[in-house]
Amino acid sequence: MRFGKASTMLAAAAAVVGSIVAAPAAQADPGGCPTLNVIAVPGTWETSSTPDPERGNGMLAQVTSGLPAGARVDYVQYPATAFPWEGDMYGVSRNRAVDNARDLIAGTAAHCPGTDFALVGYSQGADAAGDLAAEIGTGLGVIPPHRLTAVGLISDPRRSETDALVGPPVPGNGAGGSRVGGFGFVSPDVRTICAVGDLYCSTPREDYVTRLAGFLAITAGTGPDAFEHYRDEATILYNDIMSAGGVPTLQLQISPEANVERETQIREFYGSQIHQDYSNYAVDDRGTTATVWLNNWLASKV
């Protein structure tokens, strides 16, 4: 009887040991997985679907260079065009950037479950990176919001006055109109930089002609699946115009005198190179430039 009890205890112990040995080890990232995967989306004409390696990575090169060990940077290839005669309209080009960035994140996320992500973009690239960040922020994106730990946007054409701005205050929103719903759950991890005088990311709310042109550029070439999304933005723009006086207000803003003033403003804007000069644009009292600030911020996330 005593022998039987010992046998039972040994059998039970063996079963426990066996179950421990057979239990699968905690899942770990395979070799080569970064701690932080930075997805960078260059601006208009800074890349293409088949980029020239000699062109470099444009404005974002200074943002992504020299990051600590553990960070990996992947640049998004997309048409990066703005006009129909270049092959793709702005809206189509931007949407391809969103799709390609999403695919990059999905591929790494599936292979590296412990990797976090950052999105950075400049100009049209900021438009795309911001849209993807907003999508992830809904909680229904390609990764859960907590894995997107940093979103840095330079001259975002869809900047909102409520976005967390780094640098001196600037009036208005982006020329394409702000994103309805903002960035959702990732809002605390979004930083936007818009230089004083950069019309792409700082269009006065009362400049309805520019806002209308920006909205048409953003939506040009997009499919019917985006109708619901852009309908809300169109409604906001329409209501703002109607509240300001409707069609007569638009007519005043496209009068010969207004057109001359607008042309002068645009010429001065392009001549100033403000939009292209973020590597020299100071965002704090110490003289830290926009690109250096974002580089330091990304480094702190690794």
| Res. 15: pLDDT tops 50 | no
Q: How many residues are present in the chain?
A: 302
The structure tokens listed for 5 are 């009890």
Which is nearest to 124 in space by CA: 42, 179, 65? 42
Mean pLDDT is lowest, of 146-160, 221-235, 245-259, for 221-235
Largest CA distance in the chain: 109
Sorted by sequence, the CB contacts under 8 Å of residue 263 that are 6+ apart come out as none
Domain total of the chain: 1
Q: Say what the pLDDT of residue 142 is.
A: 97
Question: d(Cα 112, Cα 104) in Å, to the nearest integer?
Answer: 12
Sheet containing 71-75: order of strands:
71-75, 36-41, 116-122, 148-154, 190-193
| Residue 247 forms part of a structural domain | no
Q: What share of the chain is helix, strand, coil (3-state, %, to 5)?
A: 50, 10, 40
Q: Quickly list DSSP for 229-257.
A: HHHHHHHHHHHHHHHTTSHHHHHHHTSHH
pLDDT in tens, 279-291: 999 999 999 999 9
Question: d(Cα 160, Cα 203) in Å, to the nearest integer?
Answer: 10
Cα–Cα distances in angstroms (integers) from residue 53 to residues 79, 218, 297, in the given order: 15, 28, 27
Beta bridge partners of 39: 74, 119
β-strands 36-41, 71-75: how paired? parallel
Residue 136: band (very low, low, confident or very high) from pLDDT cuts 50, 70, 90: very high
Q: Say what the pLDDT of residue 223 is.
A: 65
| Residue 20 forms part of a structural domain | no
pLDDT in tens, 28-69: 566 789 999 999 999 998 887 766 655 668 999 999 999 999
| Residue 241 forms part of a structural domain | no
- Name the residue range of residue 133's domain: 36-203+273-299
Sorted by sequence, the CB contacts under 8 Å of residue 145 that are 6+ apart come out as 136, 137, 139, 184, 185, 186
Q: 262: how many CB neighbours lie within 10 A of its CB?
A: 15
Residue 212: band (very low, low, confident or very high) from pLDDT cuts 50, 70, 90: confident
| Residue 174 forms part of a structural domain | yes
Q: Which amino acid is at 43?
A: G
Average pLDDT over residues 166-182: 93
The mean pLDDT of the chain is 85
Which is nearest to 288 in space by CA: 275, 297, 301, 300? 297
| Residue 154 forms part of a structural domain | yes
| Residue 11 forms part of a structural domain | no
Instruction: State whether residue 200 is helix, strand or coil.
Output: coil
What is the CATH number for 278? 3.40.50.1820
Mean pLDDT is lowest, of 32-41, 124-133, 208-217, 285-294, for 208-217
| Residue 55 forms part of a structural domain | yes
Dihedral of CA atoms 143, 201, 246, 228 in degrees, nearest 10, equals -10
The structure tokens listed for 209 are 């002609």
Question: Best-predicted range by mean pLDDT among 1-15, 69-83, 243-257, 281-295?
Answer: 281-295
| Residue 158 forms part of a structural domain | yes
CB-CB contact of 280 with 289 (8 Å):
yes
